[in-house]
Structure 1
Amino acid sequence: MKEKILQLKGVSKKFGGEYVLKDISFSLSEGESLGILGKSGSGKSVLIHVIRGFRGYEPDEGNIIYSVSACNSCYWLDIPSKDGEKCPRCGKRLEYREVDIWKTDDRKLFYNLRKRIGIMLQRTFALYGEKSAFENVVEALSSLDMYNGDIILNRAMELLKIVNMNHRALTPARDLSGGEKQRIILARQLALDPIMLLLDEPTGTLDPHNTQLIVEILRNFVKGKKAMILTSHFPEIIQELSNRVIWLEKGRIESEGEPQRIVLEKFGLPERKKISIEVISKNEIINLKNVKKYYYSITRGIVKAVDGVSLTVNEGEIFGILGPSGSGKTTLSRIIAGITEPTEGEVLVRVGDEWIDMKQPGPLGRGRATPYIGILHQEFSLYPYRSVLYNLTDSIGLNLPAEFAKLRAIDILTGIGFSEKEAEALLKKNADELSEGEKHRVALAQVMIREPRILILDEPSGTMNPITKREVAESLVKIKREFGTTIIIVSHDMDFALMTCERAALMLNGKILHIGDTEEIVKRLVELRAEVIGVPLDMIKAASEKEREISIEKSEITGG
């Protein structure tokens, strides 16, 4: 039989003399999830605050009673069915207790009970802004006063992987997007191993893929005999996660029952709606408007390296800038990276939810964005007689604890295509022992370990044989999938662009001639080459097809 963990008995709450909650009664057992539905202003968020024990939300009437197993020595609290078991913190016996959270005289018990109730509030991101995502989770684990250093480091990385944020482990919380912050909040709450989770719109700022991820995490949380209460404007989320639903109307429970029935009554949905994860984000991360870069040359006069370029790049896509040598591709990529300042125009790059003007110098201007833009030059270099681990950490100034440095390096290497066993073996090798394909992927890892949001690759396939080209193309597609990184490939290699890029821009004489599907842009580039060099188009196409025969089709790499 499941133990009750929470009981509300006749709870009412007034603000300004008006009832916002009236006579609310229900109970919640271990392993049960309760969904709260209702229109805006129905009292959902107020009810969450009252249950958690927030200051200023003490009910005017009624009782909120928690059933717990408590340690009378260290005040550790656990689910009620653990009565009689050993306290995980001090080893004493846990004893069953009922606590009226608003009426107990034991203030230490009150505060410890609140700590054991996890909460995620709508668009409230209580994080240490200057500390990294990893440090924020470590802080939560350290507050339990139960684990030593190595266990905390490993558990923190495990939690970041669970919420799909290991690729942002070193990023300061202030530079995360709203959805990313929400996932770090959840990781912190899971770190505390709460007896119950209170969730107010837990997926409100998430894309469909991460919504499905969070749904699975929360479902597993409840399976562990924990309890959960959640509110959402999305009825499909309530159906996915709730065993039972209450409908609030002007602060009162108007109806209660099985999720599908309540949703059908209130929303008229004919059937349980499965969450879609096939939607591709169209959030822009780069926006260029009429960008120009002019040079003066004694022999050539005014050189228009970039001449009125406007384009946008979406977050998480692989975008190609294609064109013949001297077309302005590299200059444009350096402008995006903040290395070269444009003569004219607007260059905006998004960091988290903030748009940064790359023309503005200093730490409040492009200095905010450049740490999140990684560049892999065609002529990359590694320290040949130092280990791969050294090349990935110490050589680029990453000052990390030894154990965490190894964890982070393995995480990045597996993210770009190596197996965990291969990654561990690779870390011990010197760079000069690697194959060309391995060196290129380690160079990629060296850029990726800094957690760039935007990765720029300048002629990445210039000297590659077909096998290495395939390996690197597979790594780039995996980076996009695993880390959500936006990748810009600057190249004249049509095959490599077809393998990797979803969209591309065709550039000539500093101008963008076309932007569109990569196959369309490559076709136009072939036609352009024929026109420029005066060779019949069918000969150019035949040469291109011959070159592609020794390569791999894009669909084989991307699975498309």
Structure 2
Amino acid sequence: MITVKVKNLTKKYGDFKALDKVSFEAKKGEILGIVGKSGAGKSTLIRILRGSLDYDEGEVEILGRKDNFKEITAIHLQRNFALWAEPVINNIIRKLYAIRNNSDELLPMEEEWEDYEKTAIEILKLVGLEHKKDAFANILSGGEKQRLILGRQIAKIYEKGEGVLLLDEPATMACPASKQKLLDVIKNIRDKLGITVIITSHLPEIHRYLCDRLILLENGRVKMDGDVEEVLNEFLKEMKPPYIRTPKIKDNAIIKVRNVAKRYYVVHGGETLNLKNVSFDVKEGEILSIIGPSGVGKTVIMRLMAGLELPDEGKIIVDGVDITNYGWERIELRKRIGIMHQEFSLPYYQTVENLLKYRLGLKGEKAIAHAKAKAEELGLSPKIVDAIYQLIDAPESERISKLQKMGLTEDIIYKLFPPVVESFEPEEILEALDLGKDILKKKVIELSGGQKVRVAMALQLITKPKILFLDEPFGDLDPITLRDVANYLKIINERFGTTIVLVSHCVEFIKEISDRAILLDENRLVMEGNPEEVCEEFIRRSNARFMREESSYNSKKSVLTSE
């Protein structure tokens, strides 16, 4: 039985065709995958199938309907955690109440409760959360929240007995253990409900594990439709071979982490993190990766090394500076480090040249000299100035929030540290990132997805930092673009001697780029050493069966040697 029919579907944004005469069909009980590079049109297609986006030409039919698709589809997005801060089962019961009564998400009367609870438990079984039914949703792990959201979304399909489940990059940012659980839940939903599932993902291993058939989208067109492995081979044809760098690791430790402890406790939620006795070194010129399950403290360790937070116990020395001592030494150190966060954004109205000059000026000698004079004039202690200056390396939302708590606006940063640029020579960095000089005059809005990533990297590298911290900024990149990023990072490390410390869930990326890896688990450092061995232990602990499929990275055997 055909459940989804798409014929000559076209969607335009001005003169740009996001989808161009797309045609395909999906059968009842089939898991149909859609793969393609970022910007290929995958998310646009899903939104049209959901009924949340109009299209310009063509036909779409789902379960015999040609409109009002929201009544017969459920959608699960990558980063959607809108949940009630109540027990897990209440989140499902509220959704069921809204469906049955065509009303707001209320709780049923006492005499109705047993019937609602019985159905809710069956839905929780489908998503593997029946054992968490009484836990509060706000203290679930990220992966558990994803599955609870999925349970809420399929409630309508469960009630109606039919529907189509749409999944848009559902597991991209999750750790391997969370990914595995979510993928198994998707299979279980398909098997138990017998519904059609359409999933977009740029991760080949997800399609290999889940899909019965695969469609390759390229520039808004269907390039190939058929066997999963054959389509993936076509998709990965563009992947460049890995660059083989010549490591230039020095004997000295540029970062020393000694007996560090950090604990987080949430009122009414309990302990969320309790790292203990973490110790390790990072050698100058080394590429070190930190891996581990979600919520184990990888980002926290990186923030501690970058001086964005302080440890509860222990000591961290970065390039000779005790990161726990606020003052001018720490301010000077900040010139020598760069950091990219999970959520990085670029102001769309600015030119690349202005962004690079601003960043260069903000971390320049003149800016710091001006801050010293201005602080003395205003009677500000070095500790206060340091607390303000560290916010230039924090994510934008955090920076604004912390300044507001201090009763300040972002203007204080620019008044203390005016971005004065005397010498602007970006050619070396641009060349290493394969960016031509013509990109300097382009506005962010004119850049492709791959160019935006490289410009974001250039912003951190323009000051020629000794240390670059990368906190999962490339987690949602397709494997072709990720290979390019891996090559650029190896070139940067080789040419400039930049020490790189990165957090990532992408095991093959870590194996390819790292000199050494550290595994965090069970609130402590459990293993460090050879990236291959550490990653294999991580996969074993995660029970990530989907990662045992042939690697998309390993499918390209040829290499590019360094000059």
Which TM-score bucket, shorter chain as reference? 0.3 to 0.5
Bigger relative contact order (CA 8 A; separation at least 6): 2
Larger Rg belongs to: 1
Q: TM-score under structure 1 normalisation?
A: 0.44
TM-score (norm 2): 0.44
